[in-house]
Amino acid sequence: MSGQITAVRLVCGVDEAGRGPLAGPVYAAAVILDPARPIDGLDDSKKLSEKKRERLALEIREKALAFGIAFATVEEIDQINILQATLLAMRRAVEALPVQPAEALIDGNRCPPLAMPARAVIGGDALEPAISAASILAKTARDAEMRRIHADYPHYALDRHKGYDTAVHRAALEIHGPAHFHRKSFAPVRALLNKP
């Protein structure tokens, strides 16, 4: 098996999930697909139903040559800003791969500092299957974490909006105030914290 892997030039796709929400970590995943085991239906995770994402995530974990999933914490987001925290999560995801790829394809227009050449691909989650796979793994891992937080803090309805800035989330914030998993550097949360 290892002989087969080294004979192929390994390229990983990298994507994030959770840049925009008011709560929770930002996640990233890196995936090296196996050309011998194609996965049908890969797409930008935002274009897929939750059910299809979860099914594809299982298939990716089973069929990919390698994958890594990582995150940056709410504290890191507040300390270094969401862009830098996203790049940090991406770097951690690539470093979590059990094998080092020859190149990393990064969704978006910025690349994290990596030990191998990296190329930014705008709209890559819809163009590059490996980035689509990373998008799906990052999104499903983050959703699972938000459901886990929801179990302890059901009054924020995180299972419904996953921490995004929705009317339901805003209403819960007004009633209960921000919790430790809210991003204090994000304007709507900061405004509530600064209320007299």
16 annotated as belonging to a binding site for a ligand: yes
75 annotated as belonging to a binding site for a ligand: no
The one-character DSSP state at 35 is T
- Non-local (6+) Cβ contacts of 108 within 8 A are 120, 121, 122, 124
E-strand ranges in the chain read: 11-17, 26-32, 66-72, 103-107, 118-121
d(Cα 121, Cα 125) in Å, to the nearest integer?
8
107 annotated as belonging to a binding site for a ligand: yes
Reading the block at residue 153, the tokens are 């803090």
Q: Report the binding-site residues for a divalent metal cation.
A: 15-16, 107
Residues at the binding site are 15-16, 107
